[in-house]
Structure 1
């Protein structure tokens, strides 16, 4: 391998993180994740940063303001949630993370996820197609009802049928409409009605309830049994706001059990009934078309998100929050350091202040002054003693001391000291110095 080829395989950290982020975002796509929220923080930007964890692992998460506005509950540490997210990487720190796009409480979220998945799969198979829908008989000979024999839905259906067409025969196929065995019993009841072939329209339904209560009508076995039925089926589950998989597969969806009874019963206003049926079929067709369109739109949105500047903006927004946090910490640390330095400087200034040194220097000055006086006294004493010694020595060799002992000094008229007799001549005038005066003499 050449040196140039080896250098081409050397990554910078920035390039590596950028390519890993693109790899995660493009290859993994959208994921659903269940976990417990911890370390939730909400900076002034409005974005959410938290950790999702289970008993053995955890992953960092970011949910930006544009997405978290749609969350219908207030998350808190310890909440178990289901999130829809895409994998990413926070490049500045090299942190693997997920970007959360939606969040729900765990229980409702899992059911909704299963609902959406099954709905998408069945729609892709064509079970919701409008051309598979069979028209209801204009004048049914006998109506079959598949519901609970003790529920309010049965009472409502029978009440409407009696009011509109008391002569219309009714066959009841009692079944559970809630609980873990309900889906199988509903499918068996539909199969039993088809094998008997005693009715020319079936009403399948129950009263309203929560998503969990209605779940048996979202089971795949019920959906496929309805699709396979040779008898037209009217789905009448819950109130108007409750929509199930059975509603999409059935030939006609009635918003309530009472409305289903009106659809299948004879009435003087037949045209109104036909119009209602056609309107419902049209609405069902539109709903199916919208479901398909939403599926296509979701794929296109995901592809757009992978290439959209928003991903980069989200990265930069997260980086801005990180820089803001680091700046705040740095400023706080700097202020603390400067405050400590100022305290130390004040302490040193106080320690070396002239005001604090004056008493000590005054004592030192007095001590030095006393030493100077003592030194001068000692020096003067030493000088006096030395002077006395020198005076004694000088006095011992002084000519005056010699004269005092009886000696004299004789000089000629020139002032020279006469040491020998030979130094004098007859007639010379000499001066003799004694201890108490002088005597002049003439040499004879």
Structure 2
């Protein structure tokens, strides 16, 4: 469980309240009005259900005629003349300011910046109604908005030609950018006819098609003074413009319907010029950076081109006729050297081979070789003679054996010993089964042959 101190809890509430309500409009009835010698004004705003404490510090109050007849609106910053608004109990007012917590009493209060009569509250209600209507039509849709060009050369300005807003815009424009042509489309910026003139000037600037961007500007003022920029005709003219529209109306705290419909909102007329054009110092710095980048790029390009040129010169030199002839001469000399070297190597190889062959021939056919061959021939002749005699003797022995066997196999030899050869019609008779009774047979004996008949 965390336990707060009174101060810590009060400070936390103060931070949350002031963060959530940095600037609010509150409508109610004045009560408990008091004006102490300090000049500050204290009062309460109440309605049927609630009461809100309000403090209006002296520095935020408008100056009266006794102080010079002019006063500065603390919200718009505009110089106003005439008597300031007189506050009294029971009066219906509209108060603009910021929420605050007063720690000594632990109470929240509204610190007033502007107090206006009830009539101004009705304009605020009308403003919210118009805002809701146009939002429903998609006039504030970010997707339809165009991006204004940066540092434009042709700018159309819709404003009052005699207004301070135009002078501030032109002064800032003259100090920034590259220089531009500005064409003013004059229009009232306050009063009953201002709305029609502003929308007509916007349409004319868009229809001319000369400019790159349209700027709608006006100085600050009360809600009534700026009301022309909260009208539907002006919103429609901005919405249908084919050129991007930058709106710089009033001061930073002022927000009009025109601001919400425009492609880009500027807090003030001077701010509109700042949005369109870059400071000259920044442009000079950018120019220097671009120059340095271009210089470095040119140096790199020249270095690359020089290297490329050197390679191309080398390539041309390499492919020139003179260089080709020179290379061919070198190649020819190289080939001649190789040929001479190859010839020397070949001759040396052939000489070595010839020497080996001569040595082999000398060893094979020299006197010593011939003597060795003669001796080998004599030995071979003696061996051949011995082998021939042995061969003849062996062949004679084989022949005698064959003669004996042939003689033994001679069919006529048994005939001399009394045998006979008998042949029938089917060949030699070897068995009695080979003949039949009455067959004629031939009988061969040693000294001839004769015929015979087989008897039963």
The bucket for the TM-score relative to the shorter chain is: 0.3 to 0.5
TM-score by length of 1: 0.40
Bigger Rg, structure 1 or 2: 2
